[in-house]
Amino acid sequence: MIEKEYKYLISEEEFSLLKQKLNPEKFIVQENYYFDTENLEYFKHNMTVRIRKKENLQLQIKNKEKVGSYIESTEQHFDLSLKEVPSEINLNTLETQANCSGLPPIVCLIGKLKTERYITYYQDIKICLDKNFYHDNVDFELELEFQDRDTVLNFTRLFNFNHTINKVGKYERFLSYKRRG
């Protein structure tokens, strides 16, 4: 699956205003458990390895590429039959072979990020308003997943949204905050 998205860090006040204006149709809570090698080899190769916990556990491997002003990601998803999040994963033991670009197959749990996500749609854009909790930090983010960039421009004009695009995703912010702590 290929995902194109713009990400914007926003203030708590902007988050509340957008939530009011957009009147989201759906609310979910998801927990992301991040994995990497001790030397963050996957991060250094623009990859994120995480287990996402909603109703079940799903291993996700995301390979990110910055394309102009947006981020394009290729994602691999593996449903897990585990009941608990493990402290270590051997990616070679997956039923379907994960494409890990020759990186070490054993990754360790490095931390957790919880997201309260409000979702709505505008034409072909999936709009996600996220409140993220990691370490002792909370941040707010607007994610626009799209197919056509012109639709995003229409959306930003319609809502008079003039923010700078944030090219630092949740995982990178999580790691940056962890290093400071």
Question: What is 46-57 written as a DSSP string?
Answer: TEEEEEEESSSE
SS3 79: strand
Q: What is the pLDDT of residue 125?
A: 94
The span from the first CA to the last CA of the chain, in angstroms, equals 34
Q: pTM of the entire structure?
A: 0.90
Length of the chain: 181
CATH number of the domain within which 30 lies? 2.40.320.10
**Residue range of the domain that includes 40:** 2-180
Q: What is the pLDDT of residue 95?
A: 63
| pLDDT tens per residue across all 181 residues of the chain | 788 898 999 999 999 999 999 999 999 999 999 999 999 999 999 999 999 998 899 999 999 887 777 888 889 899 998 889 999 999 888 766 677 778 999 999 999 999 999 999 999 999 999 999 999 999 999 999 998 888 888 888 888 888 887 878 899 999 998 888 6
